Every structure is written in C-alpha cells, then in structure tokens.
Structure 1
Amino acid sequence: MGRARESRAVTMDDVAREAGVSRALVSLVMRGSPKVAEATRRRVQEVAGRLGYSPNRLASRLASKRTGAVGVYLLDVHNPVFADIYDGIAEAVADAGVQLMVSLGSSTSASTAASERAAIASFADLRVDGILVAGYMGTGRELLASAGETPAVALTRLLDGVDSVAADEVRGGELAVEHLHALGHRGIAHIAVPQGSPYGDRRAGYASAARRLGLRELVVEEEMTEAGGRRAMEMLLGLSETPSAVFANNDLSALGAMSAVRAAGLRVPEDVSVLGYDDTALAASDLVQLSSIDQHSREIGRLGAARLLSRLAGEALPPQGALAPRLIPRASTAPPPALH
C-alpha cells in the first residue's frame, strides 16, 4: 500500500493562484475591504471556500496595527434605549469591515464605576481599534485613563476632553414640563435620578422650566427601572395633594409609574398623565402609547460610530454639538381632570 500523501493547510498563495489574482488582493477580500470589485470578491470567496481556506486571523492581527474590532460598552441591557443605540452603531459600521465586541454593565450595580473601568481597560488590552461607551458614569479623565492610547467616543454624555455625541438633555427636561403645562397641568412631579448622578441634566431641565412657569417643584429620586418608577408613583399617590402629571426620567420608570396608577384604581391619562424620556419602542407600542422625549438614540449611536471611524481614518472631525430633542405626544398625556 502506498504511503498516504501528507496534507497541508491551504494558504493565501494557493487561493491567489487558483483565482488568478494577487496575494494582496486576496488579503483585501479576507479583511472585508470595500476597495475590491464585487465580482472579484465573489470569485475569491468561492475559490477560498472550495479549497477550504481559513485565514489565520491571529497572525493577521499580530502583523497589523489594526484588529478590525471596536469595543462597545453599554450600561444596562435591560433598558431598551441601549438596544436603539447599538442598532445605530451597527448601522454605521455595517460596510466598514468592523467587528463589534460588546460589554454590558448594570445601572443598578453598586460597583458600576469599577466594572466599566475594567471593561474599557479589557478592550484596550485586546487591542481593539477604538471604543464606544454608552451610559458611561465616570469622568472624561477616567475614561481616557482606562482606554489608554485607544481612541474612545462617549455616547449619551458630553465629556470634557473626549469625543462625545449626546442630546441636549436640559432642553429635553424643559420640553417635558412645557408640554404638560400647555395641557393645563400645574402639579407636575418628576421621577429623577439620585442627586449627584452624572445624568442629572433632565432633572435640571425640569427644575428650570418649573421655575420659569411658576410651578412648585416636586421630585422623587428612584432607580431608573420599572420597579423604581412604580415605587416613586406609589409615594406620590400617597401625598395629600396628588400631582396631576408625572415626568419620569426614562421610559422604563414611566411604565412603572403607569402600572402604579392603574393598580390604585386610577386611569392614565384621565386621572394622572405620565410622560417618559428616550422614546423607545416600548413607548410607541399600541398597548402603551407613552408620550416621551425623543433623544434620537439610534442617531446617537450612528453618529458616535461614524465619528470614531473618521478619527481612525485620520479625517477631520466635525465640531461637537448636542442633538436637539423633540416631544412625541401620545395617549398617556391629556388635560388634567378639572379640564376634561
């Protein structure tokens, strides 16, 4: 019996020879470069599949200063606003040959600051090309320290010294109060993040509009979760003078507030109007119909990723600026009972 022929791994040179192209062109195809004609790309991919070629990605990364990967840190997987932001990121990098590596935090974790620093440092250790952070709780200096030399872009907050994309949250809070006031409400409460949170601009907008319109401020601090919104609303319903309208810091807490109103035998919006923030898919649901402030979450993700890609390509970056939020009125807000 003859000796079995020794097998060897198929190389990039084998693919190039079989496809009748250069080794460099095969390399471009394997890296997902947009510079290759589609017909040529398909021919090279067909040959590679037929020969059983598998690119050695580790070797490619070691030989290049780029890994083709971008790290994405999202604060809270339970909050649908971060899914909207991620969709925008994915849309922006879809044709760039970029792989997204995701790390998830938790808005209710006592160790959020430590966990987000560890996640960002891990991205840097893995030599990702850049980092996108959404829901970051630390300072710009802390973000830069964790990222090291890896370019980073902050989403949802404007951080000193860091490329950032966010909406004008103060204006968003003002829009919420102005909408409820225009409907005739004079008792408008706010379910807010705890004092000292880096995400206090919506609360500042509420306070600014309340003072300008001559309204008494009524703020309840709670976790920005459905359970937190329910607890806050239960407390407001226990007051001697129940507010006729509630502005919640996000859609999740607004859903909790609506649940508490209905559990008390009251109606939304006939007895209490409820307005949220973020304009997530939940808010737009036919079953919920929650009025909300749209901060353009998907656009924040898209613009942030596009900014990072431009920076990596050495292109001039446009000036930073906050996106203008907009009010989306739905069935959860109406004139107060006395005006029905």
Structure 2
Amino acid sequence: MADRPLQVTVEDVAREAGVSRSTATRALRGHGRIAEATRTRVESVAGRLGYVPNLAASDLAAGGTGVVGLMLRDAANPVYGALFSRIEVAARDAGLELVTVTIGADPGGEQQVQALGRLLGMRVAGLLVATGGVDSHRLEPFASEVPIVRVGRDEPSAAIHAESYDEAWHGGLLAARAHELGHARVVVLGAEAATSFGEHERAEALVASLGATRVDRVATGAAPDDGVRDALAAVDAGATAVLCASDTRQLAVLRALAERGVDCSTSGWDGILPGLDLLGLSTVRVPVESAADAAVERLAALLDGDVDLPIHRRWRGELLPGRTLRPVEHA
C-alpha cells in the first residue's frame, strides 16, 4: 500500500469533498474565487487521502475540467490583443489552463471550425470563442459536446452562452453625438458580414440609430483602407462626417484626408489604441475587460455545474468625445 498516494486522483479528492473536479483543482492550486471553507475542506481531504498532484504537461494535455480552449481572432488587432491579455489573467485567477488558437482572415469560417475541432481533439472541457466569424449553427454541434461561451458578439442561440458588447447601445451613443454636433449627412464605413461580423453589426446599429440623418453606407473588405476612396467620394458630395466601425479604419480615413488636404469629422469604434487620448480620436470604448472577466467566470461556473445567469448578457462601454468628431460649420 506504500504506493497508494500516487494512485489518488483529483477526482477522488473532489468526490470525497463533495465538490466538482474543477473546484477541487482550483482549491488545490490556490486560484479562483472559492469560499474559504470549501478550500479548507478540499485541502483537508487531499491531505487525508495522500493526494500528490501531477503537474506534468502531459497531464494537462490529457484534458480535464481545468483545461479550456480559446479561439481568438488575430491578436495583432488591438481589440483582440487586449481581450486575449485579459482572458489570460482571468483564466489564471480562476485556476483554468488555456489552450489558445488564433485565426487571421477567414471569410468562410472554415479554418475557425477546423480549429474548434482541434481544440476538442485536445479534450478541452469548455470553449471560449472570441471571434464573430463562426455562425451559431456551426457552433451548436460543439455546444453539444462541451460548454461554450462566446465573447464580444451577440449570440442568438439558446445553446451557447455569451458575454457580448451592447453594440446597439454604442451605436445610439455615437448617433446622438453626431446629431448633437449638427451632422445631417454622414458616411458609415463598416464591413461585409463575412469579412468582420463585429464591424458589420456596429454599422447596422449605427445606421438604425441615425434616424432621419442621410447616410451614405460603405461596406468594405478586411484591410483598414478598404472603402476609404468611396467614403471620401461621399465627403466630396456633401457628407460632413465619416463614422467608422473601428479605430484602425478611422486612422486610414484621417490619413487619406490629410493627404488630400481635406477637413472632415471622423469617429471610430474600439477605444483600445495606445495613445488614443493624445491623438484625440472620437470613438466608442468597448468594455473588453468586463466581457472577458465575465466570460471566464461564466465558463468556470458552467464547468462546476453552477450557473444562475441569463444565458446571454451584454456589456456597455462609453463614448470618448475626442476632437475628431466636431460641430458642423455652417457658411
């Protein structure tokens, strides 16, 4: 019986302590939001049973409720980079191990679906999906295997949890600012849904909130300067502002305006760029931190079988007025 302690698993500890495996794992690692009484009970049971943790990487690769997958759009994008950093911190605090896959341009979503399959092949216990490029009907088969939490995008499916940005609210903030400053004709520079669902959703929300304002819509490709020429053509025709669905697009518009020596108001969306305050960009600051923290907390709770939340929740950011969206000057 001398080798008995090496045969004791974290499942044995969890069962004896009356908690889930993930709760036992987090308690023994000293991570996560766990009641002190629960942590003490788990540690006591582990000591009594002689549990010896196996910290080898092969143990993590074997799966289990402490290992979760994260699929992320290209982390070179400032918003996704900030989201990735925040999710990493939140996962560590929750005692979860992350296996991450990043995907670049993928208009059809095929690479993203394949990436999800690879993550499931690693026997992850749950998935965080931080990309808008996979439709609900393609996620639902994965949701039948493990809990899924979508991060940053609205989710219509009742099978998939979501912590998203309230883009309708954000669109209303920006539209109200444009009205306040006297803009009666604007350009809305967004993206095709297949290129960037998030930017497409933002443009739709903004147009819906602009009401009687005359809108010249430009739907673009993936590159930040796509659609800029069409936007400037609308400015030449009388539009007084270019409202962009991302800050990188706003910068591309500002660069093109400067090259032509044309003065025109602009706004963006994201609010994450370093030095944004120095640049004076008018933008919507999305609540990346709130959505990331809530998504990790939700997935950890799902793995514990303990969730008492609406399946879909939206987080609201703020308008950063900046200097690039200015009052209309009437002759």
TM-score of the alignment, normalized to the shorter chain, above 0.5: yes
CA apart distance, 1:190: 0.4
Question: Which of 239, 244, 264 is the aligned partner of 2:240?
Answer: 244
Q: How many pairs align?
A: 294
The answer to whether the Cα contact below 8 Å between 1:191 and 1:221 also exists between their aligned partners in 2 is: yes
- Is the radius of gyration larger for structure 1 or structure 2? 1
Q: Which residue of 2 aligns with 1:21?
A: none
**Which residue matches 1:152?**
148
Any idea what SS the aligned residue of 2:95 has?
Answer: coil
**Superposition deviation, residue 309 in structure 1:** 0.6
What is residue 308 of structure 1 aligned with on the other side?
299
Distance in 1, matches of 2:181 and 2:81, equals 32
In structure 2, the CA distance between the partners of 1:55 and 1:306, relative to structure 1 (3 Å rule), is closer
* Structure 2: stretches of 5+ with no match in the other structure: 7-15, 17-23, 32-38, 45-51
- 1:163, distance to aligned residue in structure 2 (A): 0.3
Question: TM-score under structure 1 normalisation?
Answer: 0.76
| 1:264 and 2:260 correspond | yes
Rounded to whole Å, the distance in 2 between the matches of 1:189 and 1:60 is 50
Q: Displacement, 1:313?
A: 1.2
Q: RMSD across aligned C-alpha pairs, in angstroms? A: 3.3
CA 1:28–1:334: 2 relative to 1, 3 Å: closer
Percent identity over the alignment is 21
Q: Decide whether the 8 Å contact of 2:83 with 2:289 is kept in 1.
A: yes
Q: How does 1:174-253 map to 2 (within 5 A)?
A: 174-194=172-192, 198-199=197-198, 200-211=200-211, 214-228=212-226, 232-239=227-234, 240-253=236-249
Deviations 1:79-111 (A, max 9, x none): 1111121233123222232221211112x3344
In structure 2, the residue corresponding to 1:137 is in which secondary structure? coil
Aligned 8 A contact 1:172 1:325 in 2: yes
Q: 1:255 aligns with which of 251, 254, 266?
A: 251
Among candidates 260, 267, 270, match of residue 275 of structure 1: 267
Confirm whether residue 331 of structure 1 aligns to residue 326 of structure 2: no
Cα deviation for residue 119 of structure 1 reads: 0.8
CA contact under 8 A between 2:268 and 2:283: conserved in structure 1? yes
1:1-12 pair list within 5 angstroms: none
Question: How far apart in 2 are the matches of 1:246 and 1:93?
Answer: 38
Separation (CA, whole Å) in 1 of partners of 2:140 and 2:258 = 46
CA 1:285–1:76 in 2, change beyond 3 Å: closer, same or farther? farther
Please report how far the alpha carbon of residue 278 of structure 1 lies from its aligned counterpart in structure 2 after TM superposition: 1.3
Distance change >3 Å, CA 304–CA 283, structure 1 → 2? farther
Aligned 8 A contact 2:66 2:97 in 1:
yes
Structure 2 residue aligned with 1:295: 286
| Counterparts in 2 of 1:285 and 1:164: CA distance versus 1, 3 Å | same
